[in-house]
């Protein structure tokens, strides 16, 4: 396992399933398939779910169910991100950030990570 794939695995699968007191739960990640070149996962953000701050590798994201997410960078700046059902984005942001579902419904994303 390469260093980047190990970091990715730890960041995706070491997320808490239940929220600690006073903290929002992490999004649910379901691995769909992987091989030696790519990993495909479905990520579901329920309202209020927050991912931990992390640097994420380049990835392709297809929106299965759209909604409103917010990125919070380590310096405290925030960025609203609207996801429309059916749209596909290539994400290359290199700065670490946390992601929160600030909308009223679930946001479901199909994420393809390159290894």
Which residue, 95, 51, 84, 76, is CA-closest to 41?
51
State how beta strands 67-73 and 38-45 pair.
Answer: unpaired
How large is the average pLDDT for residues 96-111? 97
Residue 87 has pLDDT above 50, yes or no: yes
Query: Distance of alpha carbon 89 from its chain centroid, rounded?
Result: 13
Residue 91 has pLDDT above 70, yes or no: yes
What share of the chain has pLDDT > 90, as a percent? 76
Residue 89 has pLDDT above 50, yes or no: yes
Q: Is 75 or 13 the better-scoring residue by pLDDT?
A: 75
Sorted by where each starts, the structural domains of the chain and their CATH numbers stand as 3-17+24-114 (2.60.120.10)
Q: Distance between CA 71 and CA 92 in Å, rounded?
A: 14
Quick one: pLDDT band at residue 2, thresholds 50, 70, 90?
low
pLDDT digits (tens, 9 = 90+) for 31-85: 999 999 999 999 999 999 999 999 999 999 999 999 999 999 999 999 999 999 9
Output the CA torsion sign for 13, 18, 20, 22.
positive
Residue 10 has pLDDT above 60, yes or no: no
Q: In this structure, what token pair is assigned to residue 59?
A: 């990835």
């Amino acid at each position: 396992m390469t260093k980047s794939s190990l970091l990715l695995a730890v960041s995706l699968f070491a997320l808490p399933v239940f929220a600690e007191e006073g903290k929002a739960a992490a999004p649910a990640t379901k691995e769909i398939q992987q091989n030696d070149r790519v990993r495909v996962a479905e990520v579901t953000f329920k309202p209020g779910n927050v991912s931990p701050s992390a640097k994420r590798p380049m990835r392709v994201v297809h929106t299965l169910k759209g909604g409103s997410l917010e990125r919070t960078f380590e310096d405290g700046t925030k960025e609203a991100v609207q996801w429309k059902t059916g749209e596909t984005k290539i994400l290359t942001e290199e700065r670490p950030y946390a992601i929160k579902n600030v909308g009223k419904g679930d946001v479901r994303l199909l994420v393809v990570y390159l290894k």
